[in-house]
Amino acid sequence: MLVPFAVNNSLEEEAFSVAYDVELLFGVVFWVIVYEQNVWRSRKLSVTPLFQNIAREGVTV
């Protein structure tokens, strides 16, 4: 999940809580990652395997 503001623990916990409810409702498991947009799009992260896989396979919601 990309947000246009700084990420804090409260935001992450809320995202995880919503994701958990969705997982229970639909019987699926997925991984939630929360990043500030500017941090995610930084050159430093753009070379990581995680970034490259999400760029290739990620789903926009």
Q: What pLDDT is attached to residue 30?
A: 87
Phi, psi of 3 (to 5 degrees): -125, 150
Letter string b/e over residues 4-36, b meaning 16 or more CB atoms within 10 A of that residue's CB = eeebeeeeeeebeeebeeeeeeeeeeeeeebbe
Reported pTM: 0.75
Residue % of the chain over a pLDDT of 70: 98
**Can you tell me the mean pLDDT for 6-11?**
97
Give the residue, 46 or 60, on which the prediction is more confident: 46
The one-letter amino acid at 35: Y
pLDDT band at 36 (very low <50, low <70, confident <90, very high): very high
DSSP class of 34: -
Q: What is the pLDDT of residues 12-27, one digit of tens each?
A: 999 999 999 999 999 9
C-alpha 5/C-alpha 59 separation (Å) is: 21
